[in-house]
Amino acid sequence: MRALSILAAAAMVISLFLPWLALQGPGSSFVPYDLIKGLNPDIQQVRDFVQQAPPPLLCFLGTFLLAALYVLLAIVGLPSRALAFLTGALAAGIVAYGFLQARDGALSVGLPLPDSNDLGQIFNSVSDVLGMGAWAWGAGALILLLTGLIGVGSRR
């Protein structure tokens, strides 16, 4: 379980550099690294970004930092069950919040939504849109959440 949790956290970190949307056309790709690559390591610019960014965005970017911290701690032999749980739970919370916001936005403009009782239909709709980065982040977060609940085991 320890090796799997390290791979899951590494997948979350790597997803920072992968496309999250599988839409066709120029400018339709979203890569989270694009949000932060324009920041200079200037303390004031980072502070301004943190103060102006919405809290869900900061939580989203925080999942990458927590996953990287988990990888570092696990490599040196200090995997933290609480950190794994926090990383996975924060990602799950972001997904739930994003889903609710998207649902409310779609309903407010009259867009049709898939029947919420058919999870297969929702999965198929989402599969057409999400890219490799979103899948890596989501799978990594799920594994870390389970690692936090179950435990990482011991090195033998």
Residue 21 DSSP code: B
C-alpha to C-alpha distance for 131 and 136, rounded to whole angstroms:
9
C-alpha distance from residue 108 to each of 39, 54, 99 (Å)? 34, 21, 14
Per-residue pLDDT of the chain (156 residues; tens, 9 = 90+): 788 999 999 999 999 999 888 777 666 678 888 877 877 778 888 888 889 989 998 999 999 999 999 999 999 988 889 999 999 999 999 999 988 887 788 778 877 666 556 667 767 777 778 889 999 999 999 999 999 999 866 555
Residue 61 CB-half CA count within 13 A: 15
Give this prediction's pTM: 0.82
The residue ranges of every structural domain in the chain are: 2-150
| 133 and 12 Cβ atoms separated by less than 8 Å | no
